[in-house]
Structure 1
Amino acid sequence: MTDTSMAGHVPSVPPSMSPPKNRRVGRRLANTALRLASPLAIIVLWQVASMTGLLSPRILAGPSEIIATASRLVASGELINGLIVSFLRVLAGFSIALVLGILLALVSGLSRLGETIIDPPIQMLKAMPFLGLLPLFILWFGIGEAPKIGLVAFGTIFPIYLTLHGGIRSIDKKLIEAGQTLELGTRGIIRDIVIPGALPSLLVGVRYGLSVAWLSLVVGEQINASSGIGYIITYARDFLQTDVIVVCLLVYAIMGLLTDGLVRMIEAYALRWRPEMIA
């Protein structure tokens, strides 16, 4: 009787054994707070130095002044209009680089002859300081939109090409042989084997290329520009408006983070079949 009641009894878990998950959450919150502590301390010291006059506004404006300037620029529409123009330039230059980079990487990665013809010039151009090519771009394309978009495209094409080329070359040859055995044909092998296998490398190149695109635009927009975030920076530089300059630099940084986050979302969706993405 006693044995039957003991066998049917399920022992309760002691309360002390249940909170490891709570401990992990608490540890994460503590780590997050520690990581935020130093940036917040820097901002507080920055504000104190500005209020006490230790840091001149001509050197660097204080955080409160920067926030007020950002609100003013947004309310006037100047910052929004400049952001739209800059974003369209990045979009145009990056689109050109994406198409050309993928085409060149496919030809070079799938053909020995293509690699012999395409890869050496790409490697030579990659070694050049592309920001130093801006004077040539102005001489070739004038002072309109073409040199700015061209500079973005020129700087962005290399990470896209190099990562995709490496991804294609790293595909297991047995998979290609299996596709040939199944008589997929060249298009079928590219569509069903090459592109899925090299897609992770391509997305890495896209993320890196977007950061280079915004960096290129920072330089391109500060020369002979009549609109865009870079134009606002140039105007503010002439009048020593450090608050406006910092606001525009923060906009560049935020746009870089947002575009990188967008590519991460695309990566998580496109590569959801991979075990590490599922985990």
Structure 2
Amino acid sequence: MEIPLAQEVIFGLVIGSYIALGAVGFTLVYGLVNMINFAHGEFITIGAFAGYLAVVVAGLPLPVGILVALVATAVVGWGIARITFEPMNETGAVPLLMMSIGLGFVLRNGMRVIAGPSSRRVRLDVATYRFDDLGFFVTSQQLLIIGLALAAVVVMHLFLSRTMLGIAMRATSDNEDLALVSGIDTRRIRNAVWLAASGLAGVAGVMLALSQGANPTTGFGQLLLIITAAILGGAGSPYGAVVGAYLLGIGITVSVEFLPSGLTELNATMAFVVLIVVLLIRPGGIVNTEVRTS
């Protein structure tokens, strides 16, 4: 059965929402620490399990569960960074990259040992709103996921543009040496970045627990899309990461309309085709941010 284009866009917005929060956290770390964190997907998984434990096991209301997942993942992510990444800040990008790959492997398999391979889902009562004249429907769960992502993006924007800590964070990302001589406590800023990035990953994990379920590979399964969205938007730009995430999500679902029957499993490939084309035209991504090499 052919799905209307408008419906594919709705599905794409849902996919783009959790990719966006993951990509924003990923690109915040890249912009300040100058590292590609391959363990970022595991922070999302931690958030998914934290949300499941809070809502399903502890019986807390969903808003409280989201807050619990945000705080728990922020603290755990910050603690892991302090133990593993912070002592290696001066070693260069490649050792940090290898550390993140190894750390991701350890965390992923550690969660598999503790939680088992089965998937656990946060289930809600879902209402469906149909717009037959326009050719699509939307559920309350989809609206929740999209609304939560947009609210998080607005909060992030206000934090980065209206608070002293957010402004200092942007200044440090632009030029850490200049920020240091200007009196900014760059270590405090790094701590804030790890807390923010991990917390956003935790919220993305709750979204995935709602839509797909929580299992030890929940975050790892989204990591390639998150990195792609960050690059598509312009590495180091949180705003570009949001735009890249929604373009990627919509591209994945809408491409189904243009694929032959039986080849719809290749829809994600179309999104990467878009990435290649964009980078050929604008190597710095949508916001034309140069990717640093050191």
Shorter-chain TM range is under 0.3
Higher helix share: 1
Under a length normalisation based on structure 2, what TM-score does the superposition of the two structures give? 0.27
Bigger radius of gyration among the two: 1
